[in-house]
Amino acid sequence: MFGLAICLVLPVVAAIVLDRLFPLPLPESGGGSTVVLARDGTPLRAFADAGGVWRYPTTATQVSPLYLQALLTYEDRWFWKHPGVNPYALVRGLSGGLLHGHVVSGGSTLTMQVARIIEPIPHTFGGKILQILRALQLEAHLSKTQILDLYLDRAPFGGNIEGVEAASWAYLGKSAAHLSRAEAALLAVLPQSPSRLRPDRHAERARVARDKVLRRMRDSKTWSAAQVASAMIEPVSARSLRAPMNAALLAQRLHDQAPQRRRITTTIDAEMQRAAEDQVADYLARLPPRSSIALLAVDNATLATRIYIGTGAFADAARAGHVDMVRAPRSPGSTLKPFLYGLALDDGLIDSQSLLVDAPQDFDGYRPGNFDEAFNGPVSVAEALQRSLNVPAVDVLDRVGPTRFMARLANGGVALQLPEGAKPNLSIILGGAATKLEDLVGAYTAFANAGVAGAPRYTPEQEPRRRRLLSPGAAWIVRDILSSNPADVEGAPIAGSVGHSDLAWKTGTSYGYRDAWAIGVDGRWTIGVWIGRPDGTPSPGQYGAVTALPLLFRIADMLPARGGVPFPKPYSVRAMDVCWPLGGAADQTDPSLCRQRRHAWILNDALPPTFPDRGSGAWMDPRVVLRVDAAGRRLSAGCHGRGEHTITIARWPALVSPWLEVDDRRQEGLPPLAPGCSPDALERAEAIRITGLNDEAILRRAPNADKPLRVTLRALGAQAPVEWLVDGRLQASAPGDAPVTLDLDQPGAHRLTALARDGAWDSLAFSVMDN
């Protein structure tokens, strides 16, 4: 009995000792390649391991049952029962080898194949013994499921492809979870001779081998004869091996954040991403050299990012394709204006139709102009925002305060970056600071989410970060203004059409044509587009409305389930008619003082008056109550006359006078002083008169002259600095009545205006004739 016990114990002890001396060379659990996936499991980008191998981590629960049936039926139908080796198959293989002098039938189980996968073993009799021992070790240390997972994850499929998931995507363009019977049979047989049977190179050989598997499936009754016959009809076709490369820079970003993760799932929609990348590639071809494009599309409800394009041409050195422009700080141009007007609404400073002044103004030395270099005089808040006028925006920011505006943006997720040493200033509303596309898109979701902004999410586990940016009412009013924004560009909606009627959008262009922006919001999506050169060099002629906006409309058209109102009109918002120039409610204003009636959205029943004029010498009160005599002449203090009574005059802001209709100017004019009354200082400014050019003058350049047509002008009587405008476009500035020389070469009829900063002005018409 003792001897028998020794005989039984010694092999066990020997096995334990050998197992300790020669441990299994199992692959490290954290090693290998990384795959970044779309939300449906589609690979977006794979990062090879140190050996250059592409492997997508997978398990038996993640592949098609059809593939497991084909694999186990063809390779090892006793897999779940044997201890690692199949004695019958092994005896058959060894006897054949002894008879023929070499291995003719391997007899290898799936476990034995895994042993050869994890450790190089020569194809010799000695190698076969080692393979058997390693198989027994595997069965002792791992479960059957773990062994199967090792095979699925690391079986060779040709080239640098390992694992059934990587092979399925590489050859078939689909996940191993969705294989047909023919595809399952093909992938089951490929590891037997991966180089000889590669379907992208040897389709006929691969078909013959596949059909052999299919016949085995039929003969074993695993699949019916009809199912196999149908599978055999299916041709063998494979794509050329290439690694997936969608949302490449997002994949790089997430991989850099978690380099040890082997499988990273994103919120990206694979089909939408591919379609958007095709659109961007097509659009990029029309742009100047070295241009790039960044694009982000976010689901408003969840903040999940469905499209992420960080570059127009990944790895294109000429376009700096390695630079992710989704998160690169750039000048936002005018894209911050909606938030400024929203904040001013919340502060009760404006309603949607408040009267603003679009005319040359000086803000303590800062003198902004408009993008088209023209001025428009009196404009509403809605017009100023839709037309992206600069001077009214700077005026509003000056009253809100740039420091407070920046703080509110930062609270909403937009942290503006100022130039080194700079403090918050008025230029930030025109792009004088830097921000990122992803921050802008996150902030614009506030216009679909009742004023609550949120950071775009890139992975399902990323928690939503939401912050209050505007009140629901302010967000609704701004979105309503932007959704009525007319656009005369490629892909723009026809007025009254359904297509983009719900899309609220805003463009922006940075100084020097370095950045072109377009951001759009509808009931489902927020979309952001940036176009420019990553190195920051200018692209003359490329600006938001003509460069970025058409691409925004293209992307909006391809997105699913567009439309719908982002959120209903809040109770804090109601419609009301207001009056210009005073700004009060129309039904509470004397009709004689209501020169223009405007249909406005008001917030919290606030009815703010028109902003007062700037400057200590300017007229400050738009509502003037005067004493006049029976002849309508003005009576100053201490002066009286027959039929004395009071009248009220509504005065427009001084700087818009040149743009007013004749009747409006007449109605706001002061009556003359009655004889004997002393001056009352109610006049805005002394009158000025343009000299150097007569009203209705016709100009013609001298024949054969090679110099431009020039005229020297003066504004006689001007006490304050004078802005000289032709057709509303600023041409020059001069101190007081100092002379100024203008080039007047453009043929046609024109209007010349001299506008002093104290409100005094003069204007005349002239024409330039062709030679």
Catalytically annotated residues: 75, 334
DSSP code string of 325-383: TTSS-B--TTTTHHHHHHHHHHTTS--TT-EEEES---BTTB----TTSB--EEEEHHH
Handedness of CA 373, 375, 379, 381 (dihedral sign): positive
At 554, the amino acid letter reads R
482: tokens are 């932007």
DSSP state for residue 363 in the 8-state scheme: B
297 has which bridge partners? 307, 527
DSSP state for residue 1 in the 8-state scheme: -
712: burial class by Cβ within 10 Å (0-12, 13-18, 19+)?
A: exposed
Contact 211, 232 (CB under 8 A): yes
350: tokens are 């404006």
53: tokens are 């191998």
Contact 577, 600 (CB under 8 A): yes
Angle at 183 between CA 179 and CA 188, to 5 degrees: 105
Contact 262, 35 (CB under 8 A): yes
CA 354 to chain centre: 31
Q: Mapping DSSP to helix (H, G, I), strand (E, B) and coil, where does residue 212 land?
A: helix
DSSP H/E element including 358: strand 355-358
DSSP state for residue 435 in the 8-state scheme: B
Going by their DSSP bridges, the two strands 34-37 and 263-265 should be labelled as parallel
DSSP state for residue 612 in the 8-state scheme: P
DSSP state for residue 32 in the 8-state scheme: S
Torsion angles phi and psi, residue 264, rounded to 5:
-120, 120
Give dist(CA 246, CA 262) in Å, integer. 17
Q: Mapping DSSP to helix (H, G, I), strand (E, B) and coil, where does residue 518 land?
A: strand
* List of residues 6+ apart from 356 with CB closer than 8 A: 378, 379, 380, 381, 384, 389, 392, 395, 396, 611
Q: Which of 431, 348, 352 is nearest to 386 (CA)?
A: 352
Q: Mapping DSSP to helix (H, G, I), strand (E, B) and coil, where does residue 11 land?
A: helix
Tally DSSP H helices, then E strands, for the chain. 20, 27
8: burial class by Cβ within 10 Å (0-12, 13-18, 19+)?
A: exposed
Give dist(CA 585, CA 607) in Å, integer. 7
Torsion angles phi and psi, residue 398, rounded to 5:
-60, -35
49: tokens are 């391991």
At 556, the amino acid letter reads A
Give dist(CA 514, CA 292) in Å, integer. 11
Give dist(CA 281, CA 121) in Å, integer. 48
Q: Which of 315, 284, 282, 288 is nearest to 538 (CA)?
A: 288
At 239, the amino acid letter reads R
320: tokens are 């700096």
620: tokens are 């400050």
Contact 715, 688 (CB under 8 A): yes
- A 10 A CB-CB count for 272 gives 17
